[in-house]
Chain A
Amino acid sequence: MRARNRELVGLIPASLLLTAGFAAVFIQRSNHLSGLSLTYGAVFLGLCLAGHVFIRIALPYADPYIFPVVAVIACFGLVMVYRIDGATLARQQAQWFVLGLVLFIGTVIFFRDYRKLERYRYVIVTLSLALLVVPRLPVIGESVNGAYLEAHIPGVITFQPVEISKVGLIVFMASYLRDTRLVLAGGRRVLGVTLPPLKHLGPLLLLWGVAMGILILLHEVGSSLMFYGGLLAVLYVATGRLSFVVIGLLAFAGGAWYLATHIPHIDARVVAWLHPFRLSEYKALGGSYQIANAQFIQAAGGLFGQGLGGSIIDVPGSNPVVHWLPAADTDMIYAVIVGELGLFGASALLMCYLVLVQRGMKAAILAGDSFSKLLASGLSTIVALQVFVIVGGVTRVLPLTGVTLPFVSYGGSSILANFVLVALLLLVSDRARRPGVR
């Protein structure tokens, strides 16, 4: 089967999943199956087909699995948002998908030759860093649970600049390291560790400083870990030096430890992570209530889950509604997935992400030039790290932080940014697999 036909067939599970999921939630809600659930499925299938037709025309050689697996994850997320928040927010989420698709198409058309991104790398990095600071600005900046992640223009939009900056920073790093990677790799060996020449050590230190800066500015370990991990990954691919990664991680760990013990809100998260069931923590404002309840909801899920709509996320009979699991549709959405679809359902979702990452890495390997390789591997890594940070937070591998689960959590900026990211991956892939270009 030809690649594009494989992609088309791959969309079938996505539409089935969406229709069946909506039907299940519908039945759970109103005890009868309404045509509306099927309409949702049909409309979304139509969107997927539109995306597919566009790819068929614009990116005929692109990897056939990336788009369907994104569709599956997105459908999954839409069902979950619908189940948690009901029709209104699900419709908004669906509208974000439409916008995301438009942005996807725009990116592909505008950056048809994505290597021209390199020309704007300093513009991109400046904008990305500037965006990060926005949540700290007066009036439009907003603090959520002590972290500065959201910018809010009243009546217009609320968005998370982090989501957009992550793509920009990876583009910059890929471009910057394409130029300097050979110089960086050829350093002197000191005590069995290869150190880059002093002249080029500066930018790396700057990198560390940026990550720490994000941490200090945003009070967010999760986002800075995601950034920093992504940047280190690009550095590693560019130089092949594991020592850079090790030194980088040690430096980050040191900085994070210092900040964790000196910024009260991060310290509280660490304590809540270590002792979620301690009564004082559980009852404290901004304490472990959320993470402890997420554990209980996951435990109730077991192997197969309780079915969509089966988890109790609000206190029954409470009026006004008391959320037993706060932020169930964003930070905590993975806990609801585990509770309702069980270990198997949640693992299946993680496997979908792994497939997406694998296809991204594959595109990087197939790509002919360094920039493409660095870009594709960096973008793939940052998706993986974002999943790791939030799922790890919910499952208590790490302290909980406020990043979104890509394509699943409710939230517009996340969806838009991730569609741009996928567009770039497909562009790299299309170029890499185009016959005769290598």
Chain B
Amino acid sequence: MDGSIQKLFLAVVLLFALLIGWTSRWTVFSATALDNNPRNQLGYFRSLMVDRGRILADDGTVLARSVKAGGGTWSRTYPQGSLFSQTVGYYNARQGQKAGLERFWSGQLEGTSTGVSSVFGPLGTGTQVGNDVHTTLDPAGQQLARRLLAGRIGSVVAIVPQTGAIPVMYSNPSYDDNRPLAPCPANSQGVGCQTNLATQAELPPGSTFKIVTTTAALSTGRYTPQSTIVGNSPLTVSGVPLENDGNQSWGPVSLTTGLTYSINTVYAQVGEAIGRQTMFSYMKRFGFYSTPPLDYPAGQMTVSGERINGKLVPVTNDNVDLGRTAIGQANLTVTPLQMAMVVATVADGGTLMKPYLVTRSVNQVGQTVTTTTPTVYSHVMKPQIASELAGMMTKVVEEGTGTAANLQGLSGQVAGKTGTAQVGGPSSILDDAWFIGFAPVAHPKVAVAVVLTDIPNGYGGTYAAPIAAQMMKALLAEGL
């Protein structure tokens, strides 16, 4: 009998070994597969229980915070709503959706478990508390941008040239990020109000692009601001006549005059003279043909460049109309962010800083977890050339197409370039009105890009330049 009992115990041992084997199967060997099983809601449950950190403006204004939703869960609220929604985005655990900074900085906002771990578990509150994220965004600047756009579709982006910090990024249409699923307001005109125009628009830059062409031209050494070009109209470009504004013939003029009065035929010739390769390489230095290096979800940013049938095509492609590209037409599309980067480069003496929205993340006990250090994106042009270009752009504001930016109190301190891009076919009277500029010229502290879309006879100098100037004036007055 005793032998049988021993064998019986052996059988029990085998059964228990089987149990431990199967337990380890689920806890170790198949654990990852189980964690990723579509029926597994534990990850979702945990996300409901995370006290995400706040998102703060540069003055500490709360842009997003978590509020208790009962049963140990949290939900997100956005006190500033549509004023910041395009940039801040939203986080909706119940729908599993996130956008904007809420998405890009989700890791920091979620943070990691706090408290001391032990065999008996995480001692402490048991709640996962995230880090606060401090942004560069300036509430006064955002409010002014919204007031100046006055409900019109458009975008305002401001950059601090020396660092790449973005104090203002506001676009119409906007939406209330407390209710991301609510229908869009009537003025969104099929764009969809959750499209961030500042980073996702595909707009023709018009004459603001002449800054890129000028940079390339001066950098080749074949042109100086004083180079003379004949600005008669019309001029046959790629087999099709190109006219100046009002079909005005200017005769021989300097490159400076060409920029001041935005003479298309001058710049078409310059573009064709410097060639596709040069144009392409300078565009890339400015950030065209790349996803913008912004701390913002790549899925919510559009690459600027030549687009033929919706596809990016390098300027080196023979199908690209080089002459018209040089004046910001043809099939060139850009984002307001990209044009702000272009003008910030000139303001920063030819160096393009990586733009950024978040300065640092701070944990619950006040320790800084991450800090953004201003980083060079590319050296676009020599300081000498940036300085010459700044001089030419000052003329634009003093006596050219951009005089509306010559506000009292900023007189002689603004450099800029207008852009008026016809949209919607040859017979359309609708224009995208652009202005890009920076101030003060001697020691630039802020660069802005402003665009209003689909304005009837919307000259950039008339519509966008005053907005840009007021933005700069206000931001400078704030002591930015």
Contact = CB atoms under 8 A, between A and B. Distances in A.
A187 interface: no
Given A298-B23, A300-B35, A307 B8 contact: no
Contacts of A361: 5-6, 8-9, 12
Interface stretch (B38-46, B104-112, B130-138, B246-254): B38-46
B120 A299 contact: no
Interface stretch (B70-78, B193-201, B255-263): B70-78
Nearest to A240: B4
A106 to B, nearest CB: 28
Contacts of A319: 70-71
A354 interface: yes
A296 interface: yes
Interface stretch (B121-129, B351-359, B440-448): B121-129
A381 B26 CA distance: 26
Contacts of B73: 316-317
B122 A343 contact: no
A315 B73 CA distance: 10
A287 to B, nearest CB: 11
B5 A377 contact: yes
Contact of B125 (A31, A338, A370): A31
Chain A: number of interface residues, binned into ranges = 35 or more
Given A317-B73, A354-B16, A28 B9 contact: no
Nearest to A292: B39
B15 A370 contact: no
Interface stretch (A19-27, A89-97, A256-264): A19-27
Nearest to A310: B121
A217 B12 CA distance: 28
A304 B40 CA distance: 20
B9 A373 contact: no
A99 interface: no
Contacts of B13: 354
A317 B1 contact: no
Contacts of A350: 16, 19-20
Nearest to A304: B119
Interface stretch (A53-61, A112-120, A230-238, A419-427): A230-238
B317 interface: no
B24 interface: yes
Contacts of B118: 24, 307
The 9 A-B residue pairs with the shortest CB-CB distance in the complex, in nearest-first order = A307-B121, A24-B120, A299-B34, A317-B73, A317-B71, A395-B22, A299-B31, A298-B26, A343-B27
Given A357-B12, A377-B5, A384-B16, A318 B26 contact: no
A31 B5 contact: no
Contacts of B19: 350, 387-388, 391-392, 395, 397
B226 interface: no
Contacts of A299: 26-27, 30-31, 34-35, 40
Best-surrounded residue of B6, B9, B124 (most CB of chain A within 10 A): B9
B288 to A, nearest CB: 46
A5 interface: no
B5 A277 contact: no
Given A297-B42, A346-B23, A350-B20, A233 B8 contact: yes
A295 B13 CA distance: 24
Contact of A312 (B27, B37, B45): B45
Given A233-B8, A340-B121, A370-B1, A317 B26 contact: no
B67 interface: no
A364 interface: yes
Interface of A: 20-21, 23-24, 27-28, 31, 233, 236-238, 240, 277, 279, 282, 292-293, 295-310, 312, 315-319, 321, 324, 338, 340-343, 345-347, 350, 353-354, 357-358, 361, 364-365, 370, 373, 377, 380-381, 384-385, 387-388, 391-392, 395-397
B42 A237 contact: no
A397 B40 CA distance: 20
B120 A307 contact: yes
Which of A277, A296, A361 counts the most chain B CB atoms within 10 A? A296
Contacts of B71: 316-319, 321
B14 to A, nearest CB: 10
B26 A338 contact: yes
Contacts of B3: 240
A406 to B, nearest CB: 14
A251 B126 CA distance: 52
A306 B121 contact: yes
Contact of A302 (B7, B20, B31, B126): B31
A167 to B, nearest CB: 18
Interface in B69-105: 69-73
Contacts of A345: 119
A296 B40 contact: yes
A384 B12 contact: yes
Contacts of A301: 27
28 contacts: A24-B121, A31-B125, A237-B4, A237-B8, A277-B37, A277-B39, A295-B34, A296-B35, A296-B39, A296-B42, A298-B23, A299-B30, A299-B35, A300-B42, A303-B27, A303-B28, A309-B126, A312-B46, A316-B49, A343-B23, A345-B119, A353-B16, A354-B13, A358-B9, A361-B5, A387-B16, A388-B18, A395-B23
Contact of B22 (A297, A307, A397): A397
Nearest to A300: B42
Interface residues of B, number: 51
B117 interface: yes
Contacts of A23: 120
Contacts of A395: 19, 22-23, 25-26
B115 to A, nearest CB: 9
B16 A307 contact: no
A135 to B, nearest CB: 27
B125 to A, nearest CB: 5
A310 B122 contact: yes
B48 interface: yes
A380 B5 CA distance: 10
B6 to A, nearest CB: 7
B8 A338 contact: no
B15 A384 contact: yes
Contacts of B125: 31
Residue of B25, B39, B40 ringed by the most chain A CB atoms within 10 A: B39
Contacts of A312: 42, 45-46, 49
A245 B251 CA distance: 111
B8 A388 contact: no
B477 to A, nearest CB: 47
B478 interface: no
B222 to A, nearest CB: 67
B2 interface: yes
Contact of B27 (A342, A385, A396): A342
Contacts of B117: 307
Nearest to B48: A316
A308 B8 contact: no
Nearest to A236: B4
Interface string B155-189: 00000000000000000000000000000000000
A297 B121 CA distance: 15
B147 to A, nearest CB: 39
B122 A338 contact: no
A223 B119 CA distance: 34
B383 to A, nearest CB: 57
Contact of A238 (B1, B35, B37, B123): B1
A236 B8 contact: yes
Contacts of A316: 45, 48-49, 71-73
A392 B15 CA distance: 9
Contacts of B49: 312, 316
Residue from the set B4, B30, B123 with the largest chain A CB neighbour count within 10 Å: B4
Contacts of A347: 20, 23
A350 B26 CA distance: 16
